[in-house]
Amino acid sequence: MSHTDLVTFSHNMITDHLAFGTSGNLSVREGDLLWITPSGVPFDEVTVQDLVGIHVDTGQQIAGSARPSSELPLHRAVYQARADVQAIVHTHSEYAAVFAACKEPVLPVHYQLAPWEYEIVCADYATYGTYELAQNAVAALGADHHVILLQNHGLLAVAGTLADAYHIARDGEWLAKLYYRARQLGHPQVLSREEIAAVREQFLHYGQTPSV
């Protein structure tokens, strides 16, 4: 994983309908630096030259001339709190934002997120770009959550790789859309923690075994 991968995934944010315009942000950690997308640049126009390198602990801008995303405090706080997190994807995707606006969790009516999460809980509201929002997000993520909602705002996904964080964000939006539509039909059947745990075990045997 290289910070240059942020360009590809930034472009994917538009094609996968996880963002529109300049809403949302992505970052990766490389040693003491976090690389983050720039402020105010449309995702489908982001280039390697737009990426900004920031020292995780000091907040000093080490690389790049662009202004970093306004959510830099959020990214720094998560990296400081979670050593396992190496990538962050923050979206304003439509259905996740609907549940965030209602401060309602997205419940597991499907097992798509089973490898990562049971339900998608919601962090308390705070103004975007603030230390308070960063702390609310860190509190909601705790020690082992990989995806949360930010009240009246959007979705935050974290993982050990940018690909995983992106897929969690994408699947989280898909689950929110499914749950929303299921509620329109009547009474969604929510999977239990035991059922999700069983699916998680099944996923250990999914896909191809790497050749030796």
Residues annotated as part of the active site: 71
Tell me how far apart the alpha carbons of residues 83 and 190 are, in angstroms, rounded to a whole number: 32
Beta-strand pair 147-150/122-123: parallel
How many separate helices (H) and strands (E) can be counted in the chain?
6, 8
Instruction: Please say whether the beta carbons of 39 and 66 come within 8 A.
Output: yes
Residue linked to tokens 């969604």: 188
Tell me how far apart the alpha carbons of residues 60 and 97 are, in angstroms, rounded to a whole number: 31
Positive or negative CA dihedral for 174, 175, 178, 183?
negative
Phi-psi region of 40 (alpha: psi -120 to 50; beta: other; left: phi over 0): left
Tell me how far apart the alpha carbons of residues 129 and 77 are, in angstroms, rounded to a whole number: 12
Q: What radius of gyration do the chain's Cα atoms show?
A: 17
